[in-house]
Structure 1
């Protein structure tokens, strides 16, 4: 059998992949013709005896020459028809006929399953409606090649299996390492998750505290807005009262100045009268001197006039002092009124600025309430500034 052909065999190979022999004779063919053919082609595994398309029997070359080597066999069978051979006429084992599609392994099992004396007899196969001879030696050689291929494959598989086992051990070690790392990472992840959960809980608590603070801020802002407006209104009323009182002080100052003018005029008149009285007293004294003291009671009148003049002078001085003090007090009142007016104007400006800041605070509170769904009173218009003129 060609070794190059054996290399092409596989466990799926069939009998059709093996070399076959075609040596058929008629039943009437003499044994001498068969013997000559065997001697001419020693590789022939045997001969097939057929009548037209009917299989009569088969005999291997070894069995044929074994029969001919017996005593008297040449005289009995060599020149007589081949069908008279006992192996053909009365076979103890029927020929093994297999289809060409039969795989080599099952064919070997079937051939070796025959009786031991017939185990190595040729196999007949049907191919293309014809019967061919197949040497069992070729079948066994093919089976050996297939088994060798299978063994190599198995060995290769074993080697790959060992490599896989080694790789598996390495991977198992890596898996254990990965598992340990994974366990550590899971533990770390749990710790981080616990920290995150605690942080989230703290954030929720902080959010609640912030919400409460926002509500308190809104309530305080509302209260501050309400009380601030009341305080501003009261302050404006006070400023208005201060402004009115300042106007009254100015008017009273003007009236006092007019009264002081009258007092000054009266003082001037008293002073003038005093001078006139002193002049009359002087004239009376001169008259008395010139009369030589003849006018009785005139001295008493002169003395009284002098006293009256002196009292008028003293009264004039006192009135003048009072008027001076009064002027000083009026100037102080006017200065205080002007200072109060400036203070009131400054206070009004500060209140206006505070009202603006309060309005902005109310807008911020309303915006915050809009986000949190808390209703608040609508902001009021800033109070009109009071003009102090």
Structure 2
């Protein structure tokens, strides 16, 4: 079992605690049972044949079969592949670089009775590890807890800074009120200016200079704001340009579907061979009445073809799983991009109105050292915005059409069920 030091948001399933228990298809069931008894934390066993993964048997499914007395003797003496052929649960395989959140989502997308089945993790060196779903969910919970603590920390810091700002604003108000009261007293007495009054006048001049600086800063904000809006428009346009990436993912999906079609044709050919061999077996049995060596060879060929059909069904299940994840990533990315772009355009409109009001306020002030702003932002509005919104809407329509096409396709699980039914119908 591997153990990470401390989880971080960048960790993948390859960093999580996992187990290594891998046997060949010919291994007796007794060996697997003893291993489960020796290691109570072992979640399952990986079954391989000539470096190819045939499947995975979890501890839970193994115990379910071992509680029946008649099956204990059968599966303990027989190769473990016989139990795998009986259970027929397609394994969920993932690369070690999968994010923890993505792995949890993929695991929960399985059938209800398979959600807690262990996951096969393919390491970078092509070795295989077994990951317990409970370990995966606990890791996700720890990540969420750490993220919540970080958010709380920043929230507390925000409150501290707000308190400081409010305190400084209160001081400014007190100084302003004190200045006004002193000016009023000076007007009432009409005496010659004292040292204190001169200090007040000096402070008033400083305040006037600060006002001029504020106006200059407002003008700079207006100028920089235009540039920021232009850059924001360019960023929103880049979201629309991501349509090329969406098309690339669509092509990858099309390639996977072509692979599914080829595998389906191979399965149909295998089923036809099984049917043909079954007819030959029935004819030979009826004619001879006993099972000769030739009939044994035919039976072995039937068993091999059935195994081949099951392995091809497993490959189709894996391809369909990748297809579903790619479509999910495609739709989520396009929708998120569209929502962000729409939100950006709305915020730009509001910011433009705010800067327009700021420019009008500046133009009302009579400062000789500050030239008026000649070009209001309100006159430059929204040809680009409307065009960008149309592009975003077109992208959303394209994504919706792709989702509809995916929903109309027959899933690989339905195809595998059909194949299994056809095989059962050929059994004597």
TM-score of the alignment, normalized to the shorter chain, above 0.5: no
Bin for the TM-score computed over the shorter chain: 0.3 to 0.5
Provide TM-score, normalisation by structure 2.
Answer: 0.39
Provide TM-score, normalisation by structure 1.
Answer: 0.43
